[in-house]
Amino acid sequence: MPHTTPLLILLLALLPTLPAAAAAKPIPAFNTYEAAPFLIAGEQGLVPELVDQLNRLLVGHYRLQLRNLPRARLLQQHLREPAQFDGVVMLLSPGFVGDAQQREYLWSKPLFQDHNVLVMRAEQAPAEADRAWLQGKRLLAVRGQRLRLLDELVKNGQLQREDFNSELQTLQMVAAGRGDLTFMNQLMYRHLSRKPGLGERLAALPVPGGEAGFTRHILVGKHAGELLEPLNAAIDALHCQPEWRTTAARYGFAALPCPAASELSRAPARP
């Protein structure tokens, strides 16, 4: 492995030890982000790079098998019965799937910090998009997306919601004046708004009520619970990898620090 440091050697030593002949156990790894920078041309982007780098750290033990599908389909087809889910989902936050108390699923160590933005036409953007401004507006959202404040306003009839298939579609609709606002994570907005005819017509503001920031993790189904400790050990090692820091710089987020020895996850051997 290139640029292996003494600390990284220690991190990798904490991964479970399996016989050399043992086959890596395949684990379905779902990705619900179908736009840049998470997924580019179906095979490239942040999520494929993350899966590839984790697989190199899990080699001989487990192998994440990337599967791309919309959030609504994930919820309907795979997370309908949380206790039976035997895969992982990349780069989620517990609140995204109604698991703020982290009881339904297992959650990996953090990968990086992110935040959501509200997006509206530039000429309609207020100084602050507070609850009062949101009332009576028409929200364009992607099926399966959740945000507590907006969900509450929709439930109370104070905000109209219409669902679409992709974030790009909602941005195009808002830019064309066919809706008042949409929301998405800032990484996706930064990349999608570079498309001609979008960036100069749109404005992005923080989500009100302290809901903007969140931490991205990997959701681990309880039926795949044996993966959690090896995965956390791999994430510790990932944070020390120059390749991961290059990925972070490429896509515009801050990599977390390489952990100290006292913070490392110790993964037991898989029987």
CATH code of 134's domain: 3.40.190.10
- As a whole number, the mean pLDDT across the chain is 89
Asked if pLDDT for residue 161 goes beyond 60, the answer is yes
Cβ neighbors of 237 (< 8 A, separation 6 or more) are 8, 11, 12, 15, 57
Question: 105 lies in a domain?
Answer: yes
Q: Which tokens is 52 given? A: 């590839």
Kindly report, residue by residue over 37-58, the tens digit of the pLDDT: 999 987 899 999 999 999 999 9
Q: How far is 199 from 166, CA to CA, in rounded Å?
A: 17
Report the SS3 class of residue 259. Answer: coil
Q: What total of structural domains would you count in the chain?
A: 2
Q: How far is 186 from 48, CA to CA, in rounded Å?
A: 19
pLDDT category of residue 123 using cuts at 50, 70 and 90: very high
Higher confidence at residue 232 or residue 260?
Answer: 232
Is 100 in the same domain as 53? yes
pTM: 0.87
Kindly report, residue by residue over 221-230, the tens digit of the pLDDT: 999 999 999 9
Q: How far is 134 from 154, CA to CA, in rounded Å?
A: 10
Mean pLDDT over 112-131 rounds to: 95
The parent domain of residue 226 ranges over 6-113+214-263
Higher confidence at residue 8 or residue 198?
Answer: 198
Asked if pLDDT for residue 20 goes beyond 50, the answer is no
